[in-house]
Amino acid sequence: MQTVPTSARAWLAFAACGAIWGSTFLAISLGNDELAPVWAATLRLGLAAVLLGLWEKVRGQALPRGPALRAAVYYGICQFGIQLPLLYWGEQRVPSGLAAVFFATIPLSSALLTRALGMERLTSAKLFGALVAVAGVSLLFASAFSGHISPAGMAAIFVSATVAGVGSILLKRGPRQSPVGVNAVGCAIGAAMAFLESLALREPHRWPTTWASLAPILYLTLAGSLGAFVLMSWLINHWPVTRTSYVSVIIPVIALLLGVVVRGERLTWSSLGGTILVLMGLLMGMRTPRTAADGNR
């Protein structure tokens, strides 16, 4: 079988995703100050779908069809129709830094799911790392139960993180395809789903008419949807799912720092302890030896 790529392009894509997503949690939180959360997600996804579609047309590439289209639809439902609205909604109730910490559990859920689907091996190191990280998540929930943070918001973000991992796995199981095209389809589906969810929540549908409301949408569309999501989709084509998911280890460190510095968010000792445990568990999992059979195509 082909060996796992370790080219400079792949590592640059990995680093760029971590840096961008580390800042998008803060941008979502800032945007939620101005617009209803799921409505803001709808606007971002709708704009991204148009821009990605135009990008693919300029490149002279057709949008996905057949099995590739099915994979793109599943990816869009999970990643943009479910995950993103839950994250936006949850960040109204949970500090952006802690929201990012929950996304650091994606490698653990991905390792279990890819093993269940016969895509990658599950080792004792991954299991032990999972136990340590679960202990960290439990410690994070302790502060929610004490009344400082919304349990509903924490639950929404935890589900959002898990569904994000499922979306990547479903994309990996499909045929290799253009990362731009798959995100164009995915964002279009996500925008339609988010709009219906916004209607169900009876959110106000105010258009962004000020820089404070428009800037987060533009940044999240360009840096997040046209940047990080496209890069990650490309990386999924070249690396095993579990390995690519370790980008989420970088995210909490950047997001926690930005949340404290920019938003003045305060972290309790239990939150800090939970964060350390989650990251320790993920680092243990990262030490698992890689082989070409671990999910490589």
Report pLDDT digits (tens) over 127-171: 777 777 767 766 765 654 555 677 888 889 989 999 999 999 999
Residues 190 and 88 sit within 8 Å (Cβ to Cβ) = no
Extract the tokens encoding 222: 């360009």
Quote the CA–CA distance of 293 and 151 in Å, as a whole number.
39
Q: Provide the pLDDT for residue 1.
A: 39
pTM of the model: 0.82
CA angle centred on 42, ends 39 and 44, rounded to 5°:
115
Q: Provide the pLDDT for residue 178.
A: 94
Q: Give the chain's residues under pLDDT 70.
A: 1-6, 97, 134, 137-138, 140-148, 253, 255-260, 263-268, 270-271, 282, 285-297
Q: How far is CA 61 from the centre of its chain?
A: 26
Q: What is the DSSP letter of 1?
A: -
Q: Provide the pLDDT for residue 292.
A: 42
Candidates 48, 10, 94; CA nearest to 189 is 48
Extract the tokens encoding 46: 């709708």
Q: Provide the pLDDT for residue 22.
A: 81
Number of neighbours of residue 253 by Cβ within 10 angstroms: 17
Q: Give per-residue pLDDT as tens, 166-190.
A: 999 999 999 999 999 999 999 999 9
Candidates 73, 106, 134, 38; CA nearest to 246 is 106
Three-class SS of residue 202?
Answer: coil
Quote the CA–CA distance of 35 and 204 in Å, as a whole number.
8
Residues 110 and 239 sit within 8 Å (Cβ to Cβ) = no
